[in-house]
Amino acid sequence: MATNDGIRTTSGRGKLFDSILDTIGDTPAIRVNNLGPDHVTIYVKAEAFNPAASVKDRLAVNIIEAAERAGTLQPGQTVVEATSGNTGIGLAMVCAQKGYPLVITMAESFSVERRRLMRMFGAKVVLTPRAEKGFGMYRKAVELAERHGWFLAHQFETEANAAIHEATTAREILGDFADGRLDYFVTGYGTGGTVSGVGRVLRAERPDTKIILCEPANAALVASGTPQRRTADGSPAVSHPAFEPHPIQGWTPDFIPLTLQETLDEKYYDELVPIPGPEGIKWARLLARREGIFTGISGGSTFAVTQMIAEKAAPGSVLLCMLPDTGERYLSTPLFEGIAEEMDEEEMVISRSTPGYQMG
């Protein structure tokens, strides 16, 4: 907000918070001004505004608090979960605040900064072999829970996942767009919680909003039409045959999560769009350089699909794109390839344009 003299002002949130967990949610929908076709309006829902900087903060707090309410998580009990990073970081924040020990299992292929962030919060991170993919880290978490009597978070199966998006993410979207159009909602899937929770609400209360679901072009599990083999409790029995490694961390493990199955069964999506990883990297970089919006490869991939939908959308259409996290989760990934640590030639020229304080 700006005053008459043009200076931006703030006035606080109007309340004090009892803990960091009370700041989860209410993330902003931000207009995109410099990218995209002129005949439409694009907004992004920036989940990096959550306290641990991703959409998975919502899931993490609800998994723990639902288990506390149900009595399935006891005071001081160790929590264990398999994650590519963001759920683990969210759980590490929640467990730190509530006093639960946390053990994370994670495939060694995921970015090292995610491991360090979880350890910064006090979690233990157990790595699993790259060749075993997401299914390997999942099975390791199950083994540890069974062997030690730990609480398994079950992010891929628990009803607490979609429920929190139904109760918060979807309600925020309805509130933000209550007085205007919302023609398209575009999202990828990891666990499937976002699309299933938001899909429940949009189908019931904004049925004209088309839901666009995205997945990696080289790991098109949903598009393959091949059902996921499951155990009796709905967890994956095997790695999905359509999976291939892809650079979009947080999207599409090597199985179709039970939480996503609701979306597939209930047809909560109107169109399924594949996107190559390099396109996600390109658009994540463009969002940073043209909009000042910093997101990871998953956010860039969702925005790439949003651009594709926007090009063919009717004039006046309004689109909302989910950006799951911050680009800082990807420092050691292809997103930052070519981003130099040292000065390049142009920067050296700028440095030498005045006589003082030059590097050698």
Nearest by Cα to 83 from 62, 113, 114, 58: 114
Inform me whether the pLDDT recorded for 109 exceeds 90. Answer: no
Indicate whether 175 and 236 sit together in one domain: yes
Indicate whether 188 and 328 sit together in one domain: yes
Inform me whether the pLDDT recorded for 293 exceeds 60. Answer: yes
Indicate whether 184 and 238 sit together in one domain: yes
Indicate whether 182 and 254 sit together in one domain: yes
Pairwise CA distance, residues 295 & 265, whole Å: 30
342 in any annotated domain: no
State the chain's mean pLDDT as an integer.
Answer: 95
Q: What stretch of H or E contains 120?
A: helix 112-120
Taking only the tens place, the pLDDT of each residue in 298-326 is 999 999 999 999 999 999 999 999 999 99
Q: Which of 93, 121, 152 is the last residue of a domain?
A: 152
Whether 56 sits among the annotated catalytic residues: the reply is yes
Give this prediction's pTM: 0.94
Pairwise CA distance, residues 30 & 50, whole Å: 15
Indicate whether 208 and 101 sit together in one domain: no
Task: Check if the beta carbon of residue 357 is closer than 8 Å to that of residue 78.
Answer: no
345 in any annotated domain: no
Q: Which residue has the higher pLDDT, 148 or 85?
A: 148
Indicate whether 181 and 78 sit together in one domain: no
Pairwise CA distance, residues 82 & 96, whole Å: 18
Inform me whether the pLDDT recorded for 230 exceeds 90. Answer: yes
- Residue 360 CA, chain-centre distance (Å), reads 42
How large a percentage of the chain has pLDDT more than 90?
A: 89
Task: Check if the beta carbon of residue 359 is closer than 8 Å to that of residue 351.
Answer: yes
Number of domains in the chain: 2
Pairwise CA distance, residues 323 & 55, whole Å: 8
Pairwise CA distance, residues 239 & 53, whole Å: 29
- List the CATH number of the domain containing 102: 3.40.50.1100
Nearest by Cα to 215 from 281, 107, 301, 297: 301
Token reading at 124: 């233990």
- Assign residue 314 a region: left if phi > 0, alpha if psi is -120 to 50, beta otherwise? beta
301 in any annotated domain: yes
347 in any annotated domain: no
Q: DSSP H helical segments within 287-330, as ranges? A: 297-312
Q: Which residue has the higher pLDDT, 1 or 295?
A: 295
- Residue 138 CA, chain-centre distance (Å), reads 18
Burial of 356 (0-12, 13-18, 19+ CB in 10 A): exposed
b vs e for 166-196, b when ≥16 Cβ sit within 10 Å of the residue's Cβ?
bebbbbbbbebbeeeebbbbbbbbbbbbbbb
Determine which one of 45, 54, 56, 140 is catalytic.
Answer: 56
What amino acid occupies position 319?
L
Indicate whether 173 and 299 sit together in one domain: yes
What amino acid occupies position 328?
E
**What is the span of the domain harbouring residue 256?**
20-50+169-336
Token reading at 249: 């961390």
Q: Tell me 228's DSSP state.
A: P
Indicate whether 217 and 323 sit together in one domain: yes
Indicate whether 34 and 69 sit together in one domain: no
Q: For residues 33-55, give the mean pLDDT.
A: 98
Whether 54 sits among the annotated catalytic residues: the reply is no
Q: For residues 13-22, give the mean pLDDT.
A: 95
268 in any annotated domain: yes
Inform me whether the pLDDT recorded for 272 exceeds 80. Answer: yes
Pairwise CA distance, residues 103 & 152, whole Å: 10
31 in any annotated domain: yes
Q: Which of 84, 118, 152 is the last residue of a domain?
A: 152
Q: Tell me 314's DSSP state.
A: P
Q: What stretch of H or E contains 3?
A: none
Q: At CA 280, angle to CA 119 and CA 111, rounded to 5?
A: 20
Residue 3 has a pLDDT of 55
Taking only the tens place, the pLDDT of each residue in 138-183 is 999 999 999 999 999 999 999 999 999 999 999 999 999 999 999 9
Indicate whether 288 and 186 sit together in one domain: yes
Task: Check if the beta carbon of residue 330 is closer than 8 Å to that of residue 249.
Answer: yes
Determine which one of 84, 111, 239, 298 is catalytic.
Answer: 298
Indicate whether 66 and 108 sit together in one domain: yes
Indicate whether 189 and 225 sit together in one domain: yes
Q: Which of 152, 182, 202 is the last residue of a domain?
A: 152
157 in any annotated domain: no
CB atoms under 10 Å from CB of 220, counted, come to 18
Inform me whether the pLDDT recorded for 84 exceeds 90. Answer: no
2 in any annotated domain: no
